[in-house]
Amino acid sequence: MYTSLVRSIVSMDWISHPPAFIQIYVQFLGALATAQTSFLPVVLSALLRDFSDVSISPAGNRTDLQLNAHWAIQHLLDVVPSGHAMLLRLIKENFPHRTAERREQISYIFNLIRMGQYVEHLKGDILSLCIERVVRVDVRVHFCYWSDSRLKYNTNSID
């Protein structure tokens, strides 16, 4: 019922606000997730999407946003311990598609590795997922390169 309101709140560009606001905002997200745990996946997914955001922000830099997202995720997991159970699933769901820009994929993987510092018990699963996705992209790139080479070879041999 209130999911659209929650989505609007978590999609807010919070990087442009002063640190005091950011602290209150993170506490608000924690209170929201504690009061209604059904909103936790919406909030965590929005924060995870910040990991692959490489757009230019006029108000601040993306590294600050991503560090704040880490801080918010850590806070959410502290106040809602059941969030650990859904985190890996949400990480997989929010992983950039293999056709996404390379910078987005690198940013997401970098932030997942950073996440391993405060989600120790998922560190192995997170690293395995990162390796799996990198291999998938690599295989796709090699296949596309091989297919293009064969196509060129075949068209050249027809002449």
Higher pLDDT: 16 or 100? It is 100
Mean pLDDT across 37-64: 83
- What would the pLDDT profile of 19-28 be if each residue is shown by its tens digit? 999 999 999 9
- What would the pLDDT profile of 103-131 be if each residue is shown by its tens digit? 899 999 999 999 999 999 999 999 999 99
Q: Domain range spanning residue 85?
A: 3-158
When the pLDDT of each residue in the chain is averaged and rounded to a whole number, the result is 84
Q: How many domains does the chain have?
A: 1
DSSP helix/strand/coil, 95: coil
Higher pLDDT: 155 or 79? It is 79
State how far the Cα of 2 lies from the Cα of 60, in Å rounded to an integer. Answer: 30
* Maximum distance among all Cα pairs of the chain, rounded to whole angstroms: 71
- 70 Cβ partners below 8 Å, 6+ apart? 111, 114, 115, 118
State how far the Cα of 1 lies from the Cα of 104, in Å rounded to an integer. Answer: 32
Q: What is the DSSP string of 17-58?
A: S-HHHHHHHHHHHHHHHHH-GGGHHHHHHHHHHHTT-----S
Give the per-residue pLDDT at 153.
47
Give the per-residue pLDDT at 17.
84
Percent of the chain with pLDDT over 90: 55
Q: What is the pTM of this model?
A: 0.80
**C-beta contacts of 124-132 below 8 A and 24+ residues apart:** 125/88, 126/88, 126/91, 129/88, 129/91, 129/92, 129/95
